Structure 1
Amino acid sequence: MNYDGLLTPFRGQRYHLSVWKNGAHPLLDQEYFNMKHSQARNVINRCFGLLKMRWGIPPNTAWYSRKTVYRIILACALLHNFVRTYMSMDPMEYLVEDYMKEDNSDIIEVMETSTARNFFRYELAIEMYTTCLQSHAN
């Protein structure tokens, strides 16, 4: 289900980073897209995990307006960056690994799929894979 603000991985294609860990390469544009999607998802999960641990962002933000939630996340990210800038070692960094092992899945509201976003995802996957192949050819 792709809609404005969300692009999902392709079904039926390899997705998890462990598949490519040992030097395997994506063979299709959709696999390449899934690999990049998985990498981005891991980074985002780590970032939110660290922000939740450090600043106690509430797991259920349904009590707040969307604008307030954005402001809370932005404020926490800015404070995090401030701490990282002025501390030689971040004492919270090692805790992220343990946090990521926990099941922290949130409930997702019902969304409507968009044919235009599905087409955009296919075109993006082709463009990303083509660019990757061209960069390796040079």
Structure 2
Amino acid sequence: MKGYLGPYRGQRYHLPNFRRGRPVSGKEEIFNHSHSSLRSVIERTFSVLKKKWAILRDMPSYSFERQTMIVVATMTIHNFIRKHVGRNDADFMEYEDINWAYENTIDSKNVHS
């Protein structure tokens, strides 16, 4: 299905707002927290991919379909390399360390609340 499933308006959305304050509650906040977390993962992934693949940083004026194929191709090559060469990718590990610290902060707050 085409479209965009956006967050609920009028509810907390950004991860820093969840870090400070009360625990996540209610279906709309739970959805917004999950949506924001997923968005964060996607943004980190694109940051790493842009660092590795110059064509993603400076995308020529190709058609949308061609740009989509380039993104899929670079992700496929990246996943192939990680699967067959190893998962010790310095760029991803740098971003995963940031994510690990955040997730442990959220988990410890939820346990203590």
Bin of the TM-score, shorter chain as denominator length: 0.5 to 0.7
Q: Are 1:87 and 2:80 matched, yes or no?
A: no
Q: Distance in 1 between matches of 2:11 and 2:55?
A: 34
Aligned length: 94
Structure 1's unaligned 5+ residue stretches are 98-138
Contact 1:51 1:57 in 2 (8 A): no
- Match in the other structure for 2:3: 5
Larger relative contact order (C-alpha < 8 A, sep ≥ 6)? 1
Of Structure 1 and Structure 2, the greater helix share is in 2
Q: Distance in 1 between matches of 2:27 and 2:92?
A: 34
The residue correspondences of 1:1-138 to structure 2 (distance < 5 A) are 4-21=2-19, 24-59=22-57, 61=59, 63-85=61-83, 86-94=85-93, 96=95
1:54-92 deviation digits (Å, cap 9, x = unpaired): 011344647111111111011100111122121351132
TM-score of the aligned structures, taking structure 2 as reference length: 0.67
Q: Tell me the C-alpha RMSD between the 2 structures.
A: 2.6
Q: Percent identity?
A: 37
- Taking a change above 3 Å as real, the CA distance of residues 60 and 7 of structure 1, as seen in their structure-2 partners, is farther
Residue 11 of structure 1: CA displacement?
2.1
SS in structure 2 opposite 1:92?
A: helix
Residue 19 of structure 1: CA displacement?
3.9
Structure 2's unaligned 5+ residue stretches are 97-113
Residue 8 of structure 1: CA displacement?
1.8
- Taking a change above 3 Å as real, the CA distance of residues 65 and 15 of structure 1, as seen in their structure-2 partners, is same
TM-score of the aligned structures, taking structure 1 as reference length: 0.56
Contact 2:49 2:56 in 1 (8 A): no
